Amino acid sequence: MGWPLAVSAALIERRRMALPAAIGALGVGHFLAMLAILVPFSTMTLLLVWQEQIRVGAGILVIAVGVFLLIYRRHPRFLARVPPQRLALWSFLVATAHGAALMLVPIYLGLCTSAAQSAGHRAAAALMQASASKAVLVASVHTFAMVAAGGTAAAAVYYWLGLKIISKGWFNLDRIWAASLVIVGILAIALAV
């Protein structure tokens, strides 16, 4: 969701090369947010004795984030216009607050049984079960996909479509995201107990 800020940064700086720099800064922030969650959880796999409590705690955390996002719907005004030099910090804070890595935690903690998993979930689980270096690899692949998708959207708006497409075609996914966090948290707790 940071691609509009990449477009804004390029418009503020009034040069085309500002867009790739802004997308890169957003990618760095997102990647660091993923690592801040995934690396600590990678060390938690050593605590198999407390597996049920950890699973319930992770589920409660995901539910709490989802409920908070459902109740507090407005984004802070000071985040509406982020200077280009602060995009990496913005990306880190927003990706952490929105739970970017939390969606991978249920897979990482083994909350999804292999019979119910798709091939993608099985691959992610296999990658994450080994070590923190695997968590870094998963964060890298996820960040690359996020930067590619967001960069494509930002480039399309900045270079071809123009800003009018945002005002006419914009829709907010925040409520859907928050509700999905609550549902995933409930499922995680149900599967843990």
Q: What is the pLDDT of residue 47?
A: 63
Domain of 180, in residue numbers: 3-192
Q: Give CA–CA dist 40/128, Å, rounded.
A: 12
Nearest CA to 29 among 133, 143, 132? Answer: 143
Nearest CA to 148 among 53, 33, 24? Answer: 24
Q: How many domains does the chain have?
A: 1
Q: Comparing 115 with 33, which gets the higher pLDDT?
A: 33
Whether the pTM exceeds 0.85: the reply is: no
Is a pLDDT exceeding 60 seen at residue 113?
no
Q: What is the pLDDT of residues 1-20, one digit of tens each?
A: 677 888 888 888 888 889 99
Q: What is the pLDDT of residues 131-180, one digit of tens each?
A: 667 777 877 888 899 899 989 988 998 888 887 777 676 666 778 878 88
Q: Give CA–CA dist 114/24, Å, rounded.
A: 35
- Beta carbons within 8 Å of 112's beta carbon, 6+ residues apart: 106, 121, 125
Q: Coil, strand, or helix at residue 60?
A: helix
Q: What is the pLDDT of residue 111?
A: 56
Nearest CA to 173 among 70, 103, 104, 80? Answer: 70
Structure tokens at 100: 């970017």
Residue 104: CB atoms within 10 A of its CB come to 21
Q: What is the pLDDT of residues 42-67, one digit of tens each?
A: 766 666 667 788 788 888 988 998 89
